[in-house]
């Protein structure tokens, strides 16, 4: 899966966008047609070449997130920002703990 760095720290601020994508199949994740942080045109919210299941999952995610006040970034189906941003000038730094049963006992720190 292609991994890339966001263009600016503001776009990666955990207080700002919320990144959503497919998860581990053992974790009951949904297939969105691309991996996390894929910057191929297939990662665009509106794209072609998806299976019916992938398209359905994307519409489901977009609908749920939109109904709860999140705005999608059109070039990344997994990228959402809460509107209005509650802390637009604040950066948060915290450990991300593994999901129980994932096999990893070490937290990921940014």
Q: Which residues are catalytic, by number?
A: 76
Whose tokens are 């601020």? That residue is 13
Sequence-distant (6+) residues with CB within 8 A of 100 are none
d(CA 110, CA 69): 26
| Cis status of the peptide bond prior to 98, with omega within 30 of 0 | no
CB neighbours of residue 85 within 10 Å: 14
């Amino acid at each position: 899966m292609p991994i890339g760095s966001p263009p600016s720290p503001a776009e990666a601020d955990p207080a700002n966008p919320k990144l959503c994508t497919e998860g581990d199949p053992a974790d009951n994740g949904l297939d969105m047609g691309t991996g996390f942080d894929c910057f191929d045109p297939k990662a665009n919210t509106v794209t072609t070449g998806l299976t019916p299941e992938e398209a359905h999952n994307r519409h489901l995610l977009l609908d749920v997130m939109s109904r709860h006040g999140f705005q999608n970034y059109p070039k990344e189906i997994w990228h959402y920002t809460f509107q209005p941003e509650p802390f637009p000038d604040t950066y948060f730094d915290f450990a991300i703990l593994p999901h129980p049963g994932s096999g990893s006992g070490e937290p990921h720190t940014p």
